[in-house]
Structure 1
Amino acid sequence: MTGMLDSGTRLTADTGEEVQVVGMLGAGGQGEVYRVRTSAGEKALKWYYPTCATPGQDGIVRELVDRDFDDDRFLWPETYMPWHRGSFGYLMGLRPERFKGLPDLFRRRLRTSTRALLTACLYTVEAYQALHSRGIAYRDISWGNVFFDPDTGDILVCDNDNAVVEGDVSGISGTMEFMAPELVRADPGARPGTQSDLHSLAVLLFMFLMNHHPLKGKAELTIHCLDEAAERKLYGKSPLFVFDPADDSNEPDPMEHATVLATWDAAAGTLQELFRRSFTAGLHDPAVRVRESQWRDALRAVRDSVVECASCGRQNMTEPDEHRHPAPRPCWGCGSRLVLPPRLTVTTPPPRTERHVRLPRAARVHAHHLLAEPARHDYSDATLVAELVEHPAKPGRFGIANRTRDTWTGTRSDGTSQQVGPDQTVPLRSGLELELGGGVRAVVRAK
């Protein structure tokens, strides 16, 4: 693979540091990415095609570098690389191999799980929420800019050189399939920003979980040539959700769209409701689009309600709110009836909130479950607070293991209590109450 920069080329960064090109990593719509050697180790260099190396893009990159946005979920532009032979670029971190592109997910080339996908969606929402909270609009949220670890759900947002301060009109408007309808139509006064980002985010979440675009149903099958004019009609002039409750003219075709029919049926009703709002009222009124906080709360609740099927072992979404959705649906994999395990209800001190965590085999509780308003959710081993473990000598008997450095107080339903020290286990029983410290209480409930 050859590119604009030869291996061995030496460039000087804006900081005065010398950078040497090692080899080309890939190419995209705006430029090429190279592996380079720096005094701080190997980095990635994005180098713009001359046609994309405009003064406007130069200003965007310089502003992004100056912002010094330190967030491990983004490969943020770190260092500006000045003009050389008609172009310029910037340095960023290298993407670790464990992060995979969404096209591989959509083509079913990755082995992943329902929990990992929900975790990836939750982390993606929080990443863009962090960006928006700093007054930055991404403007090009799409399947090409987000990478995820199929085992853990960790995410990494790349190609961040189109993000700008909210209200800035320079740069691109986005990728057509993900653009808000008002941008596709080029409505007067419509411009890319956080409101249009919310539409793009909803499309991305739908594709993550449903492996399908929310506006591609029977209507697309009637299009003989999906050219730009046809796309503008599909995504802008006449957008219609494939599961619109009031209009089934764009519903999925049973033969051509079997995947989305199956994934939609397997999705929690809590998420279905948010997708309906996003792609019905939200298509026409940006003000009613689902906010990041709403996606966050729903994704967290559904992720904590995933259970394995006792017959086939597949992970299933169940409903966090049993009052609205009382009966679990059959397993999406084998059709067997799902048996719901007990759940742990965690109550935080004021502002009082409740977190509900299902307790299937190997269930885990993390530090964010003990907080009323966690700044960020983290399901990694580093934040483990408790986990469900099986008795080594009595198969089928489970207990809750304390994975903190503090001692808990456990009170059984008969009123007797015991101290549960670090790495000690208390038997799992309905009605068990745990004092986890800091005013946090947890109760085991049968359902």
Structure 2
Amino acid sequence: MAELDLVFRARRVVTAAGEVARSVGVRGGTVAAVEPLDADLAATEVIELGDDEVLLPGLVDTHVHVNDPGRAEWEGFGSATRAAAAGGVTTIIDMPLNSVPPTTDAEALRAKRNAAEGRVHVDVGFWGGAVPGNLRELRGLHDAGVFGFKCFLLHSGVDEFRHLEPDELADALREIRGFDALMVVHAEDPDVIDRAPAARGARYRDFLRSRPRGAENLAIARVIELARRTGCRVHILHLSSSDALPMIRSARHDGVRITVETCPHYLTFSAEEIAEGATQFKCCPPIREAANRESLWQGLADGTIDCVVSDHSPCTPELKRFDSGDFGLAWGGIASLQLGLPAVWTEARRRGHTLADVARWTAGRPAELAGLARKGRIAPGYQADFCVFAPDQVFTVDKERLHHRNPVTPYHGRSLAGVVRAGWLRGVRIDVDGPPKGRLLNRGEA
């Protein structure tokens, strides 16, 4: 074999064969060889990982709210992608809200790409938005390279990104089925929530009652039926209610093209531990009880839940209303982009899961979901996106040391296992303090 640009030698590499000792050769930003550890691979640079380090595929986070342009004081492309890189994430897909304008037509997509150009430390792709009145814009967004379309079935939290009524959702699914695009859905039923007790005050249990499981369950059932009727591919975002798992399994058995994600916060925290006024834990749908959390873990283990992504939805400290601790007034969103890998690994290993499982949930399956055919695995022909991870090193989260724009996260003060020591993007080490070297991606590109 001709000389390689780079070779990693590690006693622990996560590949399709599991965690094995391997030498990984890179040429031109692509994995060119995955060989036994003692293979004679010549390279310009050889990196020997320590016995306490594991070479993982770079994570792919398909659910990130960067909020730029328009609300860059909440988060921006520079800060978000530095946080991603520091957390072992080498590719993100940005949500079409809470930026202004939202990504609901090709012109808005150009504005978002302009805001990101030259500022990203990891690769970045974009979701388009499906909102009332933009049905005729969806094909143009698809042709411009979005990875699919996001919609809400209830108020999104921002007025400029309106939700779809059931008939509008059906029309959008029929439209994008024509070019085999993917619809990703925030599935909560507005009527159920309107009839639930109002969210107000500092007690988390009152907020939890305002977003009952039934709101998710009913909305997911509706999405399943419309996907069955139209043949469109659908994806359920941030699954919180484990009650929905049996109907998702049943729908797949019937041939409905449905995938599902959950998030680190639903797998880590429980409603019982959230203190009064701790609005940093507020998100929608909400963090539920410990028994529900364990059922979500079972859904991951049996494959009903496909992947784990952050739903990084930050805001300024003022919007969390720490002055009053009122869950009804606080912005709903968890800031966690930098912490997803150690958070998931900390809980996964307690339940007997392996790093190969975690890599599948956080890298391989999200890449497949987004159609990133050359990301998410360490294998010949895949891009050389890597995370060097020390799984046994424990640290305590300090919100002031995170790269997120604002120091707000429910993980502050929590001990987590696993430290990201380095990230590599297409064979080049990521320097979060140096010039950004990420790329803006179009659908179909790796």
TM-score category by the smaller chain? Answer: under 0.3
Taking structure 2 as the reference length, the TM-score comes to 0.25
Taking structure 1 as the reference length, the TM-score comes to 0.25
Please identify which structure carries the higher helix content: 2
